Amino acid sequence: MISKPRVLVSRQVFDEVIDYLAEHCEVEANQDDIPFSVEQLTQRLEGKDALMCSLTDRLDTATLQRCTRLKVISNIAVGYNNIDVAACSAQGIKVTNTPGVLDDSTADLAFALMLSTARRVTEVEALIRQGQWTGWRLQQWLGVDVHHATLGIIGMGRIGQAIARRTLGFDMNVLYHNRNRVAPEIERKLGAAHCSFEDLLKRSDFVILQVPYSSHTHHLINAKALAMMKPGAILINSTRGGVVDDAALVHALEAGVIRAAGLDVFENEPKLHPGFLKLQNVVLTPHIGSSTETTRRAMAMCAATNMIAALNGQVPPNWVNPI
């Protein structure tokens, strides 16, 4: 009898995902969802053919070198900066991710952050709860308009484009900066104009970051970039911590270099730069960009499908390091 491949699922997933994997594999699953330390993860990977993991699992060269049997790493995320992909390729490990299924949910959250920061939703909500609303006044808690404003999107991939589609209902002007310019018909459909990074920062009322994290995008938004933004501008980061220099952003928000920020991701999350917690002009959410029931189920199932295809010797649908 041919033995089934042995797989490790490092964090809790939906039951239907475990059931699907169990049809094809011997599954060890961490349904208690207590994150493994690097050492625990390495030990559990001994003798495993595949790993289904999340962005909280770090798979660096040293760890990978100890996983001599591993053939597949299926990340339940579109971003895969938690994995040393070059080291995987060198070891013949296939890496997969979950693009596409989360574009709209992530774009929705970026929009939610933009609207909440512009209209000070969480700031005033806290004041109401503290009993500090004594009545309507004309000049009370004035925000800024999202409609007809200029939005700069840095990173015009699938999620960037989903954000741009949403601006059409708000009559916004859209600028974007991307390594490669998108096709003219997409620009036309989205009403989006390509410009340089510097130009985008100088002209935008809102800036949304949608680039993946890498050594090239590390601290893309630093003190110098923040100083280029309009004093009334609002920065939204719903992509990855580390794309923004959090210390520089705290300083910029304190000093009024920019008006406000909406942040779903942070350097060193779940730890936050303590400065953010003292500021009124920042809306904070805990990396929930893709977190809707439908989308998270779709991401986990997409990761399972990738894994089984790769284990069966097929080309996995979302293979990030064809080798």
Q: Which residue has the tokens 């933004």?
A: 229
Is residue 310 a contact residue for ligand DGY (CB under 6 A)? no
CA-to-CA distance for 304 and 316, rounded, in angstroms?
10
CB of 77 vs ligand DGY, minimal distance in Å: 3
CA-to-CA distance for 315 and 322, rounded, in angstroms?
9
Tokens of 276: 């953010």
Binding positions for ligand DGY, 85-114, rule CB under 6 A = 102
Catalytic, out of 11, 177, 287, 296: 287
Per-residue contact string for residues 181-210; x = within reach of ligand DGY by CB under 6 A: ------------------------------
Catalytic, out of 120, 177, 240, 296: 240
Is residue 289 a contact residue for ligand DGY (CB under 6 A)? yes
Window of 60-68, 76-84, 228-236, 243-251 that interacts with ligand DGY by CB under 6 A: 76-84
Q: Of residues 24, 28, 42, 79, which one binds ligand DGY by CB under 6 A?
A: 79
Prior bond of 231 cis (ω within 30°): no
Residue 240 bears catalytic tag: yes
Per-residue contact string for residues 35-64; x = within reach of ligand DGY by CB under 6 A: --------------------x---------
Catalytic, out of 158, 269, 273, 297: 269
Q: Of residues 9, 41, 72, 78, which one binds ligand DGY by CB under 6 A?
A: 78
The angle that helices 103-119 and 293-311 make with each other, rounded to 10 degrees, is: 150
Residue 269 bears catalytic tag: yes
Residue 287 bears catalytic tag: yes
CA-to-CA distance for 112 and 122, rounded, in angstroms?
11
Q: Of residues 8, 27, 77, 201, which one binds ligand DGY by CB under 6 A?
A: 77
Pick between residue 101 and residue 201 the one whose CB is nearest to ligand DGY.
101
Pick between residue 13 and residue 25 the one whose CB is nearest to ligand DGY.
13
Q: Which residues are catalytic?
A: 240, 269, 287
- Interface residues with ligand DGY (CB under 6 A) are 55, 77-79, 102, 289-290
